[in-house]
Amino acid sequence: MTEEQDHSNVGGIMIIAECGPAGPKPVLYELLGAACGLNAKLMGIISVALIGSGCGGYSSSCIHHGAHQVFLIDHPGLWPLNEEVYTGLLHELVVDLEPEIVLMPSTIHSKSIAARLASRLGTGLTAECTNLDIDLPERTLLQIRPARECSLMATVICPQARPQMATVRPGALRSSIPDFQRSGIVVHRPVLFPVDLRTTVLETLADRAARHSFGEGGIIVAAGRGIGGKNGLELVRELSDVLGADIGATRPVVDMGWLDGSKQIGLTGKHVKGKIYFAVGISGAIQHTVGIRGMDTIIAVNPDKDAPIFKEAHYGIATDMFTALPLLIDKVKQTMKVSRW
């Protein structure tokens, strides 16, 4: 890895990472995975803008995950995050590099910064994308996102203005696979704070809900409308308990008040990643399944053998949950007893 050198080739794809005290948000590596896929068609340069306080140590990780160059905007005064300051510094960088595409995570701060940045650049912005592609030979970014209350998927393009800008939902795309033999360039950018700063961050509050994410334990047991109500939910909870799993839900389950909105998975909820996903009483509508494609293994339990969920599942149990789940729970308990010996 070479430092303090600029790459002669501008343009390409730029990813703007959101960094906090614990480092970049993991969605950075999902954006790098997407950029690598897009760049297989564009054959350009992938850049990452690392902006924050103490974020320089992650430059190598960005390069290992696919970046050709990293632009480091690192200064103690960049935390806590001030959207006005970040927008100004990133605007200067984008103007200097003239990327074709700018990608950012769909987080609260990054969406706000993206909107400010797009306005300054005089270009369009598509928020909450769940997939991206390239249309050649025009090199047009196909920005795919849910529309009409998630009843359909829309493809948005920005045919004339540049850069083409999009924010991407965390968990919607697969992370890139690191190659620890890759080398790249790290460029340290100067940090100049505006003298006429209009906003000051007085205090930041930790997001308690963000401390634990779906799939952190590797397993999720999710409930759909087919669980029927309280009795079904008790079985879902019992399976979750014996597996040490998180509980998830489809939108109908949340709408009916059986589980709260923090458990919702899908287009209008969370995109999840992990090892095993139990889909219990879930029909398999696209609005839900688009949120579970980051799971390694999907196991569906549904009495309707023609339910769409079985097209997504790696394993299917086509029977009633009140028959299947007690057997699964007993099997897990037996296995746990054997493992203790």
> Binding site for FAD: what residues are annotated?
225, 250-251, 264-268, 281-288, 302
Question: In whole angstroms, what is the distance from residue 159 CA to residue 301 CA?
Answer: 44
What is the C-alpha separation between 189 and 73, in angstroms, rounded? 5
At which residue do the structure tokens 């398999």 appear? 284
Q: How far apart are CA 36 and CA 263, in angstroms?
A: 31
d(CA 79, CA 9): 31
Vertex 296, ends 293 and 297: CA angle to 5°? 100
Give the β-pairing of 69-74 and 152-156.
Answer: unpaired
Q: 3-state class of 327 per DSSP?
A: helix
24 bridge partner residues: 19
Extract the annotated binding site: 225, 250-251, 264-268, 281-288, 302
